[in-house]
Amino acid sequence: MKKILFILITSSVFAQAPNLVEVEEFTANNQKKMVLLLQSWAQAEREITGNNTFVLEVIDGNKVYYCRGFDGMRQLVEDRNKRWGSDGTRAKIMKKWQSESPYAQEDDAWFTTHPNRVANHIFWHNKRLSYIPEGINLSEVLPTLKFRRHVMIDVNSGPESRQNFQEQIISGIENDKKLKNNYIRLMYTPWYGGPENADFMMIVLDESREKYFEGLAERNKKRGNDDDWKLIQSENIANWIDEEHLTIHY
């Protein structure tokens, strides 16, 4: 993001990044069709429950994530308790979805995608390790940032490794501020489930995959010429063990 209007940052800057995200992970033979079905289900769920729902589609793959954002665990538990039964929110969503979604009119539409439920996950948002440049109104820019790069991070073992990793990330954020590297990065911690061996999941947002890598190249050029950045990154504290490129659908 090359042009940013700088205004005073407020505590509400993280309001559009959920504190807690509940994730259902699927694979499908027909990924595009599953995305359309889940996207229309997400819309019905928002209208019935008010939940922050969205769908993540893995680029160049067959995986889809259905996500719900919550303020905290209490809100998640309350939502789960309301889902089941003949008068539960799930039944109400199903009724609305089947009557209003054009993608639900086909017989057994969901099963024609050959769905496979892989796993459930819960992630906590770590605000201290996230970076949103001053002046960014997240609620305004989020709809334009359709690309996500998810990087799974395994912190080295040791009594102080986790603390050292967090200090390294925070120092890197401050150095990027100095270099005027403006981008949005959210850090989440698996609370339940999560990718194997991953202690953190780093999410970087941009308008498209092409724009993301263009911006990354610009940022890395400035970092490569900065002695402070080199010093911060000199200690090998963690490893990037996996990554996914995704498109978000609201």
197-209 mean pLDDT: 97
| pLDDT, mean of residues 93-104 | 94
Residue 105 has phi, psi (to 5 degrees) of -80, -25
What's the pLDDT tens digit per position in 124-136? 999 999 999 988 8
Tens of pLDDT along 19-73?
999 999 999 999 999 999 999 999 999 999 999 999 999 999 999 999 999 999 9
pLDDT for the residue 132: 94
DSSP secondary structure of 190-223: EEES-STT-SEEEEEEES-HHHHHHHHHHHHHHH
Q: How far apart are CA 18 and CA 29, in angstroms?
A: 30
Q: Which domains occur in the chain, in start order?
A: 20-119 (3.30.70), 126-249 (3.30.70.100)
Whether residue 39 contacts residue 109, with contact meaning beta carbons closer than 8 Å, is answered with: no
The pLDDT value recorded for residue 137 is 86
- If one compares 126 and 2, the residue with the highest pLDDT of the two is 126
Q: Could you tell me which residues come within 8 angstroms of residue 106 by beta carbon, excluding any fewer than 6 positions away?
A: 112
For residue 81, give every residue at least 6 positions away whose Cβ sits within 8 Å of its Cβ, in sequence order, or none. none
Mean of pLDDT over the chain: 92
- The β-bridge partners of 151 are 202, 243
Q: Which pLDDT does position 114 carry in this prediction?
A: 97
Three-class SS state of 88? coil
Lowest mean pLDDT among 11-15, 133-137, 167-171: 11-15
Q: Where are the alpha helices (DSSP H) in the chain?
A: 31-49, 73-83, 89-100, 138-141, 161-178, 209-224, 227-232
Helices (H), 50-115: 73-83, 89-100
Q: Decide if 249 contacts 55 (C-beta within 8 A).
A: yes
Give the side-chain half-sphere CA count within 13 A for 218: 13
* Mean pLDDT calculated for residue range 93-99: 95
pLDDT of residue 16: 63
pTM exceeding 0.85: yes
Task: Give dist(CA 180, CA 18) in Å, integer.
Answer: 26
Pairing of β 238-249 and β 200-206: unpaired
pLDDT value at residue 14? 38
Amino acid at 217: A
Report the pLDDT value the prediction gives residue 6, as an integer from 0 to 100.
Answer: 25
d(CA 113, CA 129): 38
What CA–CA distance (Å, rounded) separates 159 from 209?
37
Residue 4 is predicted with a pLDDT of 31
Q: Which two tokens stand for residue 144?
A: 């334009």
- Higher per-residue confidence, 11 vs 116: 116
Q: In the predicted model, is pLDDT for residue 2 greater than 60?
A: no
Q: Does 15 have pLDDT greater than 60?
A: no
- The model's pLDDT over 207-221, given as tens digits with 9 standing for 90+, comes to 999 999 999 999 999
Confidence grade of residue 138 (pLDDT, cut at 50, 70, 90): confident
